[in-house]
Amino acid sequence: MGGKSSSSNQTQTTNVSGQNAISGDNLGTAISGINNSTLNVTATDYGSVNKALDLGGELVEQTGRMFNDALKYAGGVNKDSLDFAENALEDMSSSNSENLQMLAGLAGNQAAQNTQSLSAMMDLAKFKQDNGASENKQQQIILMVIIAVVLGAVAIMAMKR
């Protein structure tokens, strides 16, 4: 007895897992279960990279302008300080010149005064040496000459009479 028996069992299992993901703090797209699907995914930074590059360019340009302005300012400060130093040196030179002229004048006056003092000291020394005899002699000689002239004039007048 027997019969024929037949049995058939077919099992088809398809397990597909397709994922594309970016993890962390990045913006990303996660796609799961995409069998027989057509997906168009567009990710954008909304122009932030281009704007960041533009901003970087502007910062470089602005930094260059600031650097040039700083150089101009420093050059102006340097010129002002050199002008100040030049004026100060000119004032000091003028003041020193005037001081030297004044000292030269004082030295000349002092030399004349020293000459007069030396002459007076020499006269005092002569007077002290001979107790004034040389001066008295000179006065006596002048007096004798005057008397001789007067007597000569009287004698000439007496002869004419």
Distances in Å between the alpha carbon of 145 and those of 11, 136, 141, 156? 177, 14, 6, 16
pLDDT of residue 134: 66
User: Is 71 among the domain residues?
Assistant: yes
Radius of gyration of the chain (CA): 64
Q: At 125, list the tokens.
A: 């020394």
Classify each residue of 45-73 as buried b or exposed e, where b means 16 or more C-beta atoms within 10 Å of its C-beta.
eeeeeeeeeeeeeeeeeeeeeeeeeeeee
13 — pLDDT class (breaks 50, 70, 90) = confident
Which residues does 17 contact at the CB level (< 8 Å), separation at least 6?
Answer: 32, 33
User: Is 41 among the domain residues?
Assistant: no
pLDDT at 100 over 70: yes
Tens digit of each residue's pLDDT (9 = 90 or more) over 137-150: 778 889 999 999 99
Reported pTM: 0.35
User: Is 5 among the domain residues?
Assistant: no
Tell whether 120 and 69 lie within a shared domain: yes
Tell whether 95 and 161 lie within a shared domain: no
Domain of residue 144 covers 131-161
Tell whether 59 and 119 lie within a shared domain: yes
Q: Are 17 and 32 in contact (CB under 8 A)?
A: yes
**How far is it, in rounded angstroms, from Cα 125 to Cα 75?**
73
Tell whether 120 and 71 lie within a shared domain: yes
Tell whether 62 and 125 lie within a shared domain: yes
Tens digit of each residue's pLDDT (9 = 90 or more) over 52-67: 999 999 999 999 999 9
Q: What does the DSSP 8-state code read for residue 23?
A: -
pLDDT of residue 69: 92
pLDDT of residue 5: 72
**How far is it, in rounded angstroms, from Cα 95 to Cα 82?**
20
- Rounded to an integer, the average pLDDT of 5-26 is 65
Tell whether 53 and 126 lie within a shared domain: yes
User: Is 29 among the domain residues?
Assistant: no
Q: Are 20 and 30 in contact (CB under 8 A)?
A: yes
**How far is it, in rounded angstroms, from Cα 41 to Cα 30?**
10
pLDDT of residue 23: 57
Tell whether 64 and 122 lie within a shared domain: yes
Tens digit of each residue's pLDDT (9 = 90 or more) over 28-43: 566 666 666 666 667 6
Q: Nearest CA to 19 among 32, 4, 36?
A: 32
